[in-house]
Structures are given as C-alpha cells and as structure tokens.
Structure 1
Amino acid sequence: MSATAIALVAAFGGLLLFGVPIAFCLGLAAAIGLWVADVPQVVLAQRVISGTQIFTLLAIPGFVLTGDLMMRGGLSRRLIRVGQALVGHITGGLGMVTVVSATFFAAISGSAPATTAAVGQIMIPEMERHGYGRGFATALATASGPIGQMIPPSIPMVIWGVVSEQSISELFLAGVVPGLLIAAAFMVACAVAARRMDVPRASARATRRELGAALWDGKWALAAPVLILGGIYGGVFTPTEAAAVGVFYGLAVGLLVHREIGVADLYGIVLGAMRTTAIICLIIATAAAFGWLVASERVPAALAAAVLSVSDSPVVILLLLNVTLLFIGAIMDNIAAMIILGSVLTGLGAQLGLDPIHLGAIVVINFAIGMATPPFGYSLFVGSAISGLSIERISLSIWPLLLVQLAVLIAITFVPALTLALPSLLR
C-alpha cells in the first residue's frame, strides 16, 4: 500500500482505539491522509458536503421521526397486546410476544436500538414477573431489536441502496424473508427456554372476542406498515416520500386518535429525532470523505484481491466474508462500515457473481447480527441500560440466540432464493 493508505488506516485505527467518536475518527483520518498525499484540505470540505447531497438520504430523518412518534404515541404497547392475544397461551408464549412485537415494531421504526428500547422496556419486567430469568429476557429483547434492520423500512437498507446504487424497494423486500425466519427461529428458542426454566403459560387462550378487541385496539399500529410498504410497492410514493407519509401518520394517530401525544410533547420528540439524525448524517458525511480517499488509493481493489487470493472456492470466500462482516458489525458503527467498505464489497460481489440485491441482504443482516454480538454490539448497551444488567451477564444469555441467527445467515448466504424471491416479483 502507498504511504497515504498506510497513514489513513493507521490514523483511523489509532483514533478508534483511543475511544474517539467514529465520525471524528473518519474526518481526522481523512485530513491526515490528505496531508500525507499533499492534497489541499479544502478537498475534505468538498467531499463532506457532496457525501450528504443525496436525495435518498432524506428518508432517514423521516423514518427516525416516524419511529419516535409511534413509540411515544402508544403503538408499541398496542402491538404487544396483539402479540399477547395471538401467542400468549403457548408454552414460551410471553417470550414469543416479545419477538412478535419486535417484528411488528421493526416494520414501523426500521431501527434496532429503537425496537430494543420500545419492546424491552415493557416486556423485560413482564417476562421476569412470569418466571423467565432476567438475563434471558434481556437477551431476547436485545437480539430481537436488530430485526428492525432487516424488516422494511430499514434505515441500513436505505444506506446500502445509496452506497451500492441499487433499488431501495428491492432491498427492502430482500430483508423480509430473512427477518421472518429469524423471528420464527427465536419463537422456537422461546418455547425451548420456557420448558427448560419450567415457566408456566402466561395466560389462557384468548377468546375470539378478546382477540378481536386486541386487533381493533391495535388497528392503527397494524395499519402503519401496510400503509408505508403498500404505498412503496404499489407505486404510490417512493421510499423517501414514504418516510414523510409515516411522519404525518404518526402525528395523526398520536395527536388525534390515541391522544397520547400532546402538542407540548412534539418539541422533545422532534429534538430527539434531530439528534439521532445529526449523528447519522455526520457519520455519513465524514465517511464519504474517508471513503473517497480510500478508493483513490485503490485500497478496495487490494483488499478484494487479498480475499480472493485466500481460496478459489466461492464457499470459502463467502464464509470468510461473513466472519469479517460479523466482526466489523460488532465493533464499528454499521452506517460508517457500509460507506467505507461499499466499493470493496460491491467489487468482491461482482467477482463472485453475486446478485447485488443478494449481496446487500448479506451485508445488512451480518451487521444486524453484529449489533447484538458481544462485546461491543450497540443493542447490548441499549439492553443493559433498560435492564440494569451488565454486558457480561447479557452476553452469557444471548449466545444461543446468536447461534440461531448464524444458522439463518448461512442459509440466506448459500440459498439466494430466500432473499431474491420477493425482489424478483417486483422486477
């Protein structure tokens, strides 16, 4: 590698080890790389600005605000009641309610931390009260949260669509089957865990009247993904426009229907969404400058050649790719990782003959699993904050759920139809 590439990688790694926030790691490393390459620093400002001048990125603040509005508006609580009526009577049913609720909420928020927080705050104490260990309850909420990155609308899918220049609508569809497979596998794990811990059934089977009442009370929550996704795939609006529709829907339901949000609450909700959006966009901006310099030094081509030189077998290369992405997802911000590695991964996928949509699903799902992978997965910190348990305690309980996710990951890696069946219908 050139002196510039070495300086770039060394600066980024050193800053990261010293605990510097990821956005500043990227920006400072890019500035150092430009200095070593004797390129004017004004290029850094130009690349930072150009990295955010992408229309599709407007979907991010919209989906972030939509998730916050719907969580504060009581939709998460109503989704949990629907889940309780559907599967609460089954052995392990309360754990299954957590999974079902997380899957529903994922289709609203598109965010792993938001899903973990919204569902975990309600379900962790409830599961513990019914005999589940607090460690397992927290691990389940933590592992279920990243389903929000698979089920559309998924913010990481939007980012990958921008980075790889692929259809966001097709990427959304590519995550549906893997997300549902992981949810189903988690429900089986709940049944096994409940029998092992001798947890009694949480409730009797809901009557038709009770089920109908729960569905009716949760109708506005259940309608949200239908409205957003139906509008996208029905050609009514684009994914970016869908984010705006979601905001107006969340406002209408919270203010006028459930009336759990007051006008005075909007300032705090919008401010929180703005903070989240600002963090994401700062990472995107600095990562764009970093990524441009990495690409100009031909680092992606060198890394792709190094990976391909390990073996001639596509199976070995794909396994190595998954291991690498899981490790990166567990120690690094997903959005920054996708932007930095985008050119490397798309080039590697092309050489392996992977469908770009299939590759996108593999990347996003790897990073989603990494969100709950010890020791640095971001969802672990959210789970720890809402449960009061240490990261070590949660890590001891989460490993069986991680094995389940890894099994699904291997399946979607080597059976492309699991991710491409729905996008092919759209095509």
Structure 2
Amino acid sequence: MTETGIALGLTFLALLVGGVPIVATLALATLVGLWYADIDFIVLAQRTIAGTQVFSLLAIPGFVLAGDLMMHGGLSARLVRLCQALVRHVTGGLGMVTVLSASFFAAISGSAPATTAAIGKIMIPEMEARGYRRNFSTALATASGPIGQMIPPSIPMVIWGVVSEESISQLFLAGIVPGILIAGGLMVWCWISARAMGLSRETRRSTGKELLAALNDAKWALGAPAVILGGIYGGIFTPTEAAAVGVFYGLVVGLFVHRELKVASLYAIILESMKTTAIVCFIIATASAFGWLIALEQLPIALADAILSVSDNPIVILLMLNVALLVIGAVMDNIAAMIILGGVLTAIGSQLGLDPIHLGALVVINFAIGMATPPFGYSLFVGSAISKLSIEQISRALWPMLLIQIAVLMAVTYIPEVTLALPSLLR
C-alpha cells in the first residue's frame, strides 16, 4: 500500500472513531490524501461536484418528497387500518400489523428511517396500550423499517445502481423476495412473542364488509406503488421519472382526494424533504471525491486481493464479506460506504463470478440490516427518539429480530435465485 493510501486510511479511521460527522471525515481525509499525493486541493471541489452530476440521482429527492407527501397526506394511517383489518384476530396480530404496515409503506417511502418514523409513531403507543412491552414494540418498528431499503423504490438500490452502473429496475426487483421473507419471519416472531407474553387475540375477525371498507379506504395508498412500479416495469417511465410521478401522485391524493394535506403545510414538508436530500447528496458528493482518490491509489484492487487471498473457498469468502458489511453497516453511513467500497465489492464479485444484481442485493440487504443494528443504526436512533427508550433497552428485544434478518441474508447469499428469480424476467 502506498504512503498516500496509508495516510488516507488512517485519517479516515481516526476521524470516524473520534465521532467527527461523516461528511467532514470524508472531506478532511480526502484533503490529507491529496496533500500526500501532491495533488492540487482544487480536485476536491471538482470531484465533489462531479459526484452529484448523475441523472439517476435525481430520483432521490423525488422519492424522498413523494414519501413525505404521502405520509402527511394520510396514506400511512390508511395502510395501518387495512393491515389491522387483515390480521387483528391472530395472536400477535397487532405486532403483525406493524410489520405489514412497514412493508406497505416501504413501497412508498423507500427509506428505512422514514418507515420506522411513520409506522412507529402510530403503532408503538397502540401496541403498548394492548399489553406489549414498550421495548418490544419499539424494536419491532425498528427492525421493520429496513424493509424499506429492500422493497422498491429503494434509495440505496438507486445509489448502488449508480455506483456499479447496473440496472436500477433489476435491482428493485432483486429486493422484493428478501423483503417479503424478512417480513414473514418477523410476523412469525410476533406470534411467538405474543404467546410468551400471555397476550390474547386482540379482537374478533374482521367481517367481509369491514375488509372491503378498509380496502376501499386504502385504495389510493395501495395505488401508489402500483403506479410507480407499474410505470417502471411497463416501460412507461424510468426510475428517475417515476420519482416525479410519485410526487405528483402524493400531491393530488393528499390535496384533492383525502384532503388531509394542506397547502399551508407544503412549505414545511418540502423544506424537510430538501434537508434530507441535502444531507444525502452532500454525503454522496464527498464520498465520491474520497472514492476517486482511493481508486487512483488502486486500493480497491489491493483490498480485494487481500480478502481473496485468505481462502479460495467462495463459501468462506462470502461469509467473511457478509460479516464485514454488517459491521460497516452498523457503524458507518450506508450511502458513503457504498460509494467508497463500490470498487472493492465489484472487484470481489467479479473474482467470485457473482451476478452483479445478486451482488447489489447482497450489499444493500447487509447495509439495511445495519440500519437497525446497535450501536449506530439510523432506524435505531429513530425508534429511540419516538419511544424515549435508550438504545440498550431497545437492543435487548431487537436481537432475535436481527437474527431472523441475518438468516434471510444467508439464504440470499448462498441461494442466488432468491434475488435473481424476478430480475431474470426482464433479461
């Protein structure tokens, strides 16, 4: 490894461990690397700007705003009521409502923290009132949030598609089956936990009339993913254009159909979406500069060779890769990690003969689980803020749910068809 590479890596690790914000860490480490490589500092500005000049990234502000508009427009509340009508009569039904609602909302927001916030605010107080322990309810909302990064439209899938230059549409499809499997596993855990807590069934089974009423009330909420994904896979518009369609759909439904979205509140909603988008894009910009310098020093190739030299057994290498990605996802911003490690991961995937879409799903699912993993998972922080519980209190109930997600991750890792069955339909 070159002197520049060593300086770059040590500076990055020191700042990260020291608690410096990820954007500042990336920028300062890049400056140190440029200084060691005797490259003009103006390159930092050039590469930072270049990192955001990608058409596909326009999908991010669109999906962020669409999710916020739909949440404030009453779509998330209607999804919750539909899920309650479907499973409220089952033991652990209210917990299952949380998982189902998060899965449906994931197809609207595409964001783990947003899903945890939208569903957690509604379901955590409701579950506690029905006898569930508060830390279990919060852990369930936290663990369900990352489903939003698997089920399309997924912002991390967009980022990985840009980084790896792979089809975003196929990456979207690759996350559907793993997302459903994780949702199913969490619902089974709700049933087991409810019996262990001695909770009875919440209420009677919904009648056909009640189910139809709930379905009718939620039809516009269910229509959002149908319009967005149907348009993408029907060849009507690209994922980037789909984000704009999602914004238009959220505005029309919120303002004129449900009438819960007020014109006076649009400024605050747009401003909040802009803040979220600015944070994401600032991370992408600085991570792009950092990643460019890493590539210049040929560190991805060196790191890939080092990992592949440990063993020639693909099973062992994939297991090591999963462990590394889970740890990184639990302590580092996922977007920055994908951009920085993109070259390393694609090199390893190529050496192992992995399908690029399978590799992308593997990376995104690992980082999605990291969003709920102690100590620094973003969804974990959101759950803590909503419930007013400490990270330690939530973590005690969270570990079994994380093990379920890791079990699905292992299936994704060693059974490629789990992620490739649906994308193969587009090939």
- TM-score, with length taken from structure 2: 0.99
Provide the residue aligned with 1:177 in structure 2.
177
Matches for 1:194-343 after TM superposition, within 5 Å: 194-343=194-343
Q: How far apart are 1:50 and its partner, in Å?
A: 0.7
Matches for 1:14-163 after TM superposition, within 5 Å: 14-163=14-163
Structure 2 distance, partners of 1:419, 1:164, is: 17
- TM-superposition CA deviations, 1:92-131 (whole Å, max 9, x none): 1000000000000000000000000000000001111111
| 8 Å contact kept, 1:130–1:200 | no
Structure 2 distance, partners of 1:131, 1:387, is: 15
Amino acid at match of 1:221: A
Q: How far apart are 1:320 and its partner, in Å?
A: 0.2
| 8 Å contact kept, 1:68–1:109 | yes
Structure 2 distance, partners of 1:19, 1:316, is: 32
- TM-superposition CA deviations, 1:266-316 (whole Å, max 9, x none): 000000000000000000000010000001111111110111111110000
| 8 Å contact kept, 1:330–1:375 | yes
After TM superposition, where is structure 1 displaced by more than 3 Å over at least 4 residues in a row? none
| 8 Å contact kept, 1:148–1:154 | yes
Provide the residue aligned with 2:401 in structure 1.
401
Structure 1 distance, partners of 2:11, 2:31, is: 10
Bigger mean CA deviation after superposition, 298-307 or 104-113: 298-307
Structure 1 vs Structure 2: percent identity of aligned residues? Answer: 73
| 8 Å contact kept, 1:131–1:200 | no
Structure 2 distance, partners of 1:262, 1:406, is: 42
| Aligned alpha-carbon RMSD (Å) | 0.5
- TM-superposition CA deviations, 1:203-240 (whole Å, max 9, x none): 21000110000000111001100000000000000000
Provide the residue aligned with 1:376 in structure 2.
376
Structure 2 distance, partners of 1:179, 1:14, is: 35
- Residue ranges of structure 2 left out of the alignment (5+ in a row): none
SS of the equivalent of 2:19 reads: coil
SS of the equivalent of 1:259 reads: coil
Q: How far apart are 1:15 and its partner, in Å?
A: 1.4
Structure 2 distance, partners of 1:381, 1:63, is: 22
Provide the residue aligned with 1:411 in structure 2.
411
- TM-superposition CA deviations, 1:152-209 (whole Å, max 9, x none): 0000000000000000000000000000000001110000000000111112100011
Structure 1 distance, partners of 2:256, 2:31, is: 50
Q: How far apart are 1:18 and its partner, in Å?
A: 2.0
Amino acid at match of 1:104: F
SS of the equivalent of 1:66 reads: helix
- Residue ranges of structure 1 left out of the alignment (5+ in a row): none
Structure 1 distance, partners of 2:374, 2:283, is: 23
Structure 2 distance, partners of 1:79, 1:215, is: 9
- TM-score, with length taken from structure 1: 0.99
Structure 2 distance, partners of 1:203, 1:226, is: 31
State the aligned residue count. 427
